[in-house]
Amino acid sequence: MSEKVYDEDLELLGGAGPNLDLAWLGHNLLGKWADVRLASRGLAGNPDYQGVTGLSKEDHRARVLGQLKLLVAKGQVHRAYPKLFGGMDDHGGMLAAFEELIAADPSLQIKSGVQWGLFASAILHLGTEYHHATFLPDALSLAVPGVYAMTETGHGSDVSALGTTATYDLDTEEFVIHTPFRNAWKDYLGNAALHGMAAVVFAQLITKDVDHGVHAFYVPIRDAKGKFLPGIGGNDDGLKGGLNGIDNGRLHFTQVRVPRTNLLNRYGDVAADGTYTSPIASPGRRFFTMLGTLVQGRVSLDGAATNASKMALQIAVTYGNERRQFAPAAGAEETVLLDYQRHQRRLIPRIAATYAQSFAHEVLLEKFDSVFSGEDDTDESRQDLETLAAALKPLSTWSALDTLQEAREACGGQGFLAENRLVGLRADLDIYVTFEGDNNVLLQLVAKRLLTDFGRKLKGAGPADLAKFALEQVADRTLTGSGLRRLGQNVSDMGSTSRSVARLRDTSTQREMLADRVETMVTKLASELNAAKKAGRAEEAFNERQSALIEAAIAHAELLQWEAFTNALERVRDPQTKQILTWVRDLFGLHTIEKSLAWYLIQGRLSASRAEAVTSYVDRLISRLRPYAQDLVDAFGYGPQHLRAEIATGVERERQDEARAYFADSSRRFPRKESVDTKPITKKPAAE
């Protein structure tokens, strides 16, 4: 059957739809590191690596520490490290493997990330040969469980303003680590409350009375018996809203001395005489370069959150395809939940969003691997990687919380039972929106990058280009403000919904609409902020437009997801599978536009009738994709051993079949039901 047949109306197919190549799609969704993911899923499906519902905080922590030791024994932790240390220099594969551990227990995924993605990785990327030889082997083997001590009680996202100091003592050739006030305590640190033996501590490096900014230091914190070393104290963060298999805690330092050589000195060093040197002259660039080496935390959270959404949808759609409620007529069979339009609206657009996130994450992961493998390690590539991670991580983590909550509600009381995983995953994923960069702060970084790129574009423009740009802005305001754009759409929108959305189904039109929103928002912000800067009120103006900046960054990230999905469609060879995935992509794009219809209406980009047509076509796409919902979520590839939700095992179908058989048994006598008069009650007219 040719691709042309799968057009707007399924009537062309005689009422039949295309078929989905489920095996191909499932393998394609695994991405470049398919074999690595499958191997990690094999571990996640093993009960030895899984969380146990109802464990106490103490027992959960002990279990997860034991599971980390199993990962070491299985050789699962060295993949990203140099061959000298038993690794494979496979940076993308390392993250792909860790992301899949969320199916076993998010606490395991995050604690392993603390040990090998943050603590050991900081030694590798911020240290030099001495640190690699001295500290890295024990970090990799788990002989030294480690703490990544960056965040402070008073400063989380604003790392440059950390209060902890590391002052060089020329006489002893030591750094003195000190937390001078309570808000400078290191806080929320994995491994700090119980298991950590050493920490990579971020502090302001001071030598010869000059503060050279934040640097990282290797600091032992406990002895072999688990007792704090002199000058070091701390406490347990206690029971949290989720991730209670991780011993988060606080640390503080009182004049703690470490050798000069414990400075992780790849980007900044202090000689014995106290002289500071760095291969990067600019303090600002040096700071962001150091932090940029640790971007993998954001990358892995983007992937893990997307995986959590996949599991939630697989559970909810499976249950929604089996659970029945309310009969359309007396004696008729009850209706499957997923046949209700509202139920479809709750879940199917989220399937589309999760597909977009999955394809976008693969782009991010490959970008990360190319930078850290050295294949494309330039300043520009690192900046692009950091911006991409800062754009995608907020959307996927917010989406995971939204999807888990909607999936929970869609499963009713069954979804609220811990045995069906949804409430536990929702609790564990809650913190993902905050750590490794608060989502709102990350999106401000994205917005600043958009404004910077916009400024560079205009800075390099000649007089003719600037004149053309100004003319386009004036023309746009005139067209939108006069109503001419809206009038033209009102004329063209007359007729059927099919004709009014014909252009909206076009790939180039969807991209134009999504990109136009980003460009318009950034252009407006750049103009206003530039004017404020000239007026001497740049800081106030930036704060006044903070929400608008974040909205622009979100729009940019949504465009990136849409583009990743669209590019992924080019790899699909089977025309029927491509048609179904194109519908999924269209649903993601048009639902994204639908969520922002107010903006498109206010800006004159859509008329009221065309905006209404967008919603009509979104509903039409949802209905069209309903027969494929189960296949689309089954393609995510998580088995019963990963989901571990009773309602996703087919048990509801068995219950429905049992009930059906009960009522179909003609040998069984049933009491006659009282007839119910459904006619409306009418009052007799009052007596005259």
Q: What is the chain's mean pLDDT, rounded?
A: 89
The CATH code for residues 24-141 is: 1.10.540.10
Query: Which tokens is 255 given?
Result: 């004049």
Rounded alpha-carbon distances, angstroms, from residue 688 to 439, 683, 684, 685: 71, 15, 12, 9
What's the pLDDT at 578?
A: 96
Q: Residue 91 above 90 pLDDT?
A: yes
What's the pLDDT at 333?
A: 81
Q: Residue 557 above 90 pLDDT?
A: yes
140-149, 419-428, 656-665: least confident range: 656-665
| d(C-alpha 487, C-alpha 480), whole Å | 10
Which CATH fold would you assign to the domain 3-13+297-482+500-634?
A: Butyryl-CoA Dehydrogenase, subunit A; domain 3 (1.20.140)
Do residues 11 and 618 touch, judged by C-beta distance below 8 A? no
154-158, 331-335, 342-346, 572-576: least confident range: 331-335
15-24, 85-94, 545-554, 595-604: least confident range: 15-24
Q: Residue 681 above 60 pLDDT?
A: no
Q: pLDDT confidence of 624, banded at 50, 70, 90?
A: very high
Q: Where are the domains of the chain?
A: 3-13+297-482+500-634, 24-141, 148-280
| d(C-alpha 433, C-alpha 308), whole Å | 13
* Among candidate residues 21, 587, 36, the one with its CA nearest the CA of residue 365: 36
Q: Residue 58 above 70 pLDDT?
A: yes
Q: Residue 62 above 90 pLDDT?
A: yes
Q: What percent of the chain has pLDDT over 70?
A: 88
pLDDT, tens only, 476-492:
543 343 333 333 343 34
What is the arithmetic mean of pLDDT over 666-677? 64
* Among candidate residues 21, 47, 37, 3, the one with its CA nearest the CA of residue 642: 47
Q: Residue 324 above 60 pLDDT?
A: yes
| d(C-alpha 118, C-alpha 136), whole Å | 12
Q: Residue 110 above 90 pLDDT?
A: yes
| d(C-alpha 562, C-alpha 509), whole Å | 12
DSSP class per residue in 225-247? TSPBPTTEEEEE--S-SS-TTS-
69-73, 101-105, 114-118, 292-296: least confident range: 292-296
Q: Residue 617 above 80 pLDDT?
A: yes
What's the pLDDT at 445?
A: 92
Q: Residue 457 above 80 pLDDT?
A: no
What is the sign of the dihedral through the CA atoms of 313, 314, 317 and 319? negative
| d(C-alpha 350, C-alpha 399), whole Å | 8
pLDDT, tens only, 360-405:
999 999 999 999 998 998 889 999 999 999 999 999 999 999 999 9
Residue 118 DSSP code: I
Query: Which tokens is 25 given?
Result: 């799609």
What is the arithmetic mean of pLDDT over 124-148? 96
What's the pLDDT at 629?
A: 97
- Please list, residue by residue across 621-660, b when 16 or more beta carbons sit within 10 angstroms of its beta carbon and e when fewer do: bbebbbebbbbbbbbbbbeeebbbbbbbeeebeeebeeee
Q: pLDDT confidence of 495, banded at 50, 70, 90?
A: very low
Amino acid identity of residue 372, one-letter, is: F
What is the arithmetic mean of pLDDT over 33-44? 96
Do residues 444 and 549 touch, judged by C-beta distance below 8 A? yes
Q: pLDDT confidence of 670, banded at 50, 70, 90?
A: low
Q: Residue 685 above 80 pLDDT?
A: no
The pTM of the full predicted model, rounded to 2 decimals, is: 0.91
Q: Which residues are catalytic?
A: 436
CB atoms within 10 A of CB 307: 29
Tokens 């003319």 sit on residue? 471
Do residues 586 and 505 touch, judged by C-beta distance below 8 A? yes
What's the pLDDT at 645?
A: 96
SS3 of 470-530: the string is HHHHHHHHHHHHHCHHHHHHHHHCCCCHHHHCCCCCCHHHHHHHHHHHHHHHHHHHHHHHH
The CATH code for residues 148-280 is: 2.40.110.10
Name 347's Cβ contacts closer than 8 Å, sequence gap at least 6.
Answer: 313, 316, 317, 320, 338, 406, 407, 410, 629
What's the pLDDT at 86?
A: 85
Q: pLDDT confidence of 413, banded at 50, 70, 90?
A: very high
Q: Residue 256 above 50 pLDDT?
A: yes
| d(C-alpha 671, C-alpha 474), whole Å | 77
94-98, 562-566, 661-665: least confident range: 661-665
What's the pLDDT at 662?
A: 86
Do residues 353 and 588 touch, judged by C-beta distance below 8 A? yes
In terms of C-beta density within 10 A (0-12 exposed, 13-18 middle, 19 or more buried), how is residue 472 classed?
exposed
**45: enclosing H helix or E strand:** none
